Chain A
Amino acid sequence: MLSYSIKRLLMLIPVLIGMTLIVFGIIHAIPGNPAQTILGTKATPEAIHNLNQALGLDQPWYIQYFTYLKNIFSGNLGTSIQDNMPIAREIWPHLAATIELSFVAMVIAVVVGINAGIISAWKQNSALDYSAMILALIGVSMPIFWLGLLEQWLFSVKLNWLPSIGRLDIVSTVRPITNLYLIDTLIEGQFSQFWMVVRHLILPAIALATIPTAIIARMTRSSMLEVLKSDYIRTTKAKGERMGLIVYKYALKNAFIPILTVIGLQTGLMLGGAILTETIFGWPGIGLYVYNAIQYRDYPVIQSGILVIAFLFVMVNFVTDLLYGLIDPRIKYR
């Protein structure tokens, strides 16, 4: 297991280097003079010269790249053009907001998706199965930004049940300890604030969970159908074990590897996909951070935001790979 983990980690190195090359290339791929593009057509030659120097664009590209790598390794993600603040300091609260939203969305997706898939497989070809699979098909085919807008309209505007924007009510604040507000409010013992954070999370988390829920449900169904046909399940049935126990205790464990693969992949995709949900719900996560940076042509923020999300995506996939062996001891690492 350890040697496999090390080998797998070493295999990540070329991918991570390639990632930095692509992200580094973003600013260089801008047609024309990047500094001119960033500052706009009315920029003075002096301002362009200064920005070129500040971004190191007056150096040969390979020197720029090695400086860029050196900075990343020393935790320097550059400076935002918009507010002149170090990105490494700015980015964490945004990243924490995205992690909190993605985590809650993934919990919803896993609980709903796995149960829907199990019930579908258990009651194969029943009305319940067909309904669940039609819903799952619509779920994978639905633009989440559209669902988000409809949620806001129904639950916030029409019914006035839940807030539609942000992480907190406008007048409220939470003292940031971890920047994960669910945890911060609990540490401070602010239970009313905790409830407010939960209420703000519900709509964006449901929107973000839609696609993963549908995909997990479909994968669980097909994986469970295969396992439910196997001999050991038939034997367990013959011994008179309750069906609920058979499905949840014996079948699910063996059906779990493909489900886990999908969960891992979807968790990573969620971090990238959150940009749409965050834009609609004004959720101050890393997606909205990058989106705003694009509007201001703040390329250092765009580069760092994308690099951080892609890094997390790769790490989530790596951890998923390692989890296989823990869940299914039949898998041997080589």
Chain B
Amino acid sequence: MPQSEQNTAVQPAEEEKGPFVRNLLEFWKSFRKNKPAIVGAVIVLFFILMAAFAGFIAPQGINDQNINIRLQPPSASHWLGTDDFGRDILSRIIYGSRLSLRVGFFAVIGSIIVGTLLGVAAGYFGKFIDTVISRFFDILLAFPSILLSIAIVAVLGPSLNNALVAIAIVNVPVFGRLVRARVLTVKEEEYIMAARSIGMGNTRIIFNHILPNSFAPIIVQGTLNIATAILDAAGLGFLGMGAQPPQPEWGTMLSSSRQYITNAPWTVLFPGLAIILVVVGFNLMGDGLRDALDPRMKN
């Protein structure tokens, strides 16, 4: 078949798919070529499945104590050894993935919602609103993030949920600034002016045109921030300001086991490796998403 005929045969089918499906296919084509990103996505999927099916996979319960087998090295019956209460470390790591992923996802979703609302308001309405919101972002960004999280938890009291709230608050300006910058660019586009000239209201313009155009950078930043949120939650847990024992949060597990590192290094080694693995997964996936969704953000 001549080339021109081939093209005309394919075109209608492509057009039928609609812009959303076409964009999705284009994204997938680009993403799947990026091997590290696929590795990252597989790791993330692995941890999500682990968290979802923890009850089926974990060989033992999180608080099944047996003082007779405390601080046992890895063996056939306890693959990653046991801790100071004789609890199975593998089971606790498996259940712990629920806590880490929960903090990572919900803290980032919370900061995306609040950051997006503030960022849209600042970018779209400008003037006084923009000045107030932008200064607010500047002030929050003037604190090193872990320090601000610690200050918030010092006020709210130590718990996993308060750590989640603290991490969410700290991340708000990251998304707020991102969305504000995007809104400033998009609102000058001709199609927005056209929408306004046919009488479309602010709310419709924001939700139908501006937000969908800010979606890609938010997804990219969100994925990368899940990684830092998990690290921060582990750090707060380690300082005794996040999840509290006997919750199997990985940072809290590290903190409880640190005194046994000389005799039972596996109690510290494996929770740390779990943190590294899941954070590497989100970082690789985030980098891949950035390359596929928004090449301008590369580097």
Contact = CB atoms under 8 A, between A and B. Distances in A.
Interface string A251-289: 000000000000000001101110110011000000000
Interface stretch (B4-12, B26-34, B138-146): B138-146
Contacts of A273: 144, 146
Given A18-B138, A137-B283, A272-B145, A26 B151 contact: yes
A22 B254 CA distance: 31
A87 to B, nearest CB: 16
Given A138-B280, A290-B150, A279 B239 contact: yes
Contacts of B227: 141
B24 interface: no
B142 A314 contact: yes
B235 interface: yes
Contacts of A16: 142
A142 B273 CA distance: 8
Contacts of A31: 156-157
B239 A291 contact: yes
B135 interface: yes
B275 A313 contact: no
Chain A CB within 10 Å, residue with most, of B136, B140, B144: B144
Contacts of B142: 15-16, 18-19, 310, 313-314
Interface string B248-283: 000100100010011001001101100110011001
B234 interface: yes
B155 to A, nearest CB: 5
Contacts of A299: 154
Contacts of B95: none
Chain B CB within 10 Å, residue with most, of A22, A157, A226: A22
A150 B268 contact: yes
Given A18-B136, A145-B238, A146-B268, A152 B261 contact: yes
A88 B166 CA distance: 28
B1 interface: no
Interface string B234-247: 11001101000000
Chain A CB within 10 Å, residue with most, of B154, B238, B265: B154
A150 B154 CA distance: 28
B168 interface: no
Interface in A296-332: 299, 302, 306, 309-310, 313-314
Interface string A1-30: 000000000000011101101110010011
B299 interface: yes
A15 B135 contact: yes
Contacts of A291: 239
A310 B144 contact: yes
B135 A137 contact: no
B275 A275 contact: no
Contacts of B146: 272-273, 275-276
Contacts of A152: 261
Given A14-B135, A149-B254, A222-B299, A272 B144 contact: yes
Given A30-B155, A153-B261, A272 B147 contact: yes
B231 interface: yes
Contact of A271 (B135, B144, B154, B269): B144
Given A18-B136, A272-B143, A143 B265 contact: no
Nearest to B278: A141
Interface residues of B, number: 41
A294 interface: yes
A291 B70 CA distance: 30
Given A30-B155, A141-B227, A143-B275, A276 B143 contact: no
A140 interface: yes
B254 A146 contact: yes
B261 A275 contact: no
B276 A143 contact: yes
A271 B275 CA distance: 23
Nearest to A312: B144
Nearest to B263: A157
Contact of B144 (A137, A269, A279): A269
Interface string A28-45: 011100000000000000
A269 B148 CA distance: 11
A274 to B, nearest CB: 9
Contact of A145 (B235, B279, B280): B235
Contact of B155 (A19, A26, A222, A268): A26
B261 A15 contact: no
Chain B CB within 10 Å, residue with most, of A137, A140, A146, A222: A146
B284 interface: yes
Contacts of A313: 142-144
Nearest to A295: B240
A230 to B, nearest CB: 15
A157 B261 contact: yes
B155 A29 contact: yes
A309 B157 CA distance: 22
A165 to B, nearest CB: 13
Interface of B: 135-136, 138-140, 142-147, 150-151, 154-157, 227, 231, 234-235, 238-239, 241, 251, 254, 258, 261-262, 265, 268-269, 271-272, 275-276, 279-280, 283-284, 299
12 contacts: A14-B135, A19-B142, A19-B143, A138-B280, A143-B234, A143-B235, A149-B258, A150-B269, A157-B261, A273-B144, A291-B239, A299-B154
